[in-house]
Amino acid sequence: MYNLVDHFIHYLKIEKNYSELTIEAYQRDLFAGIDFFSTRLEVSQEMLLPSQIDSKLFRQFLAFLKQKDLSRASIARRLAAWRSFFKHLYREGILMGSPIAKMVNPKQEKRLPRFLYQEDTKRLIEAPDSTPLGIRDKALLEMLYATGIRVSELVSMDLSNMELDRGFIKVWGKGSRERLIPIHDQAIYTMEVYLSKSRPLLAKIDCPAVFVNYKGSRLSDRSIRKIVTKYCQLINLKNRISPHDIRHSFATHLLDNGADLRSVQELLGHISLSSTQIYTHITKQKLKKVYRLAHPRA
């Protein structure tokens, strides 16, 4: 079984171009299932065969996860990992079909994404100092908010992706889909300061990455999360904010200021409009709040 998982992970990495975080999550979810199935079937994990896993056994696995108080989102993610794995085994001719092909995902709780208010976003971006690392951090925060890109997209960004003279950056999103994202003048200026004054002092000569660490190599997604957390603490934000929450803020503020949903979908790189529609709930809540505060009979 482990050899099959390794082959599948290689497929996700090379052919699907999934991010390291996604691949690690898939691997954890598959290993958790292997541990459960081998225990229930009383076979060693090395001797477990995918053909031994039927829909009844898999439902027991889902029930086990529910008993452990895992969230619906976590259970759905493990189901998705195994569904992709079985689909891969079917394509490779190892299985005749998937035992969970008709299994329905658990109904998800409707949770609104966290976001920063515009005033807090401004304070966050202006928090770094004027040292080389501070200039880098300001450019990094400005880029996250100016474009709404994912952390993985920021990490993989190379100098060749920058078209600042045209007011665009080139991004490769999920599934290696390319998109051009406009970038406003203030962000262009901040990036130019970083690229001319700070990056030359930090980067190794042969490093193609836009954002580098103090050793001169490409910044990791974990480092970017630490940077965001550092400045959130510096300005005493009540709630812990992640880089993805800055992406949420980008989308929310665009809609608040009159952008249409289709344009926001394109900027975020969402395939489905339903993924973007979650942000309309935030703007509706804000509208209700304004109404209650402003209407004399509310």
SS3 17: coil
Q: Any catalytic annotation for residue 150?
A: yes
Is the alpha carbon torsion for 24, 25, 29, 35 positive or negative?
positive
Instruction: Select which of 18, 26, 231, 279 is catalytic.
Output: 279
Q: Any catalytic annotation for residue 2?
A: no
Which bin fits 17, alpha (ψ -120 to 50), beta or left (φ > 0)? left
Instruction: Select which of 150, 199, 218, 248 is catalytic.
Output: 150
Using alpha carbons, select from 222, 187, 216, 221 the residue that is nearest to residue 203. Answer: 216
Q: Are strands 162-163 and 168-172 parallel, antiparallel or unpaired?
A: antiparallel
Say how far apart CA 29 and CA 61 lie, in whole Å.
Answer: 12
Instruction: Select which of 16, 174, 179, 225 is catalytic.
Output: 174
Q: Any catalytic annotation for residue 270?
A: yes
Q: Any catalytic annotation for residue 247?
A: yes
Q: Yes or no: say if 201 and 132 are a contact pair by the CB < 8 Å rule.
A: yes
DSSP 8-class letter at 174:
G
Backbone angles phi, psi at 283, to 5 degrees: -65, -35
Instruction: Select which of 83, 114, 244, 281 is catalytic.
Output: 244
Instruction: Select which of 136, 199, 247, 248 is catalytic.
Output: 247
Active site residues: 150, 174, 244, 247, 270, 279
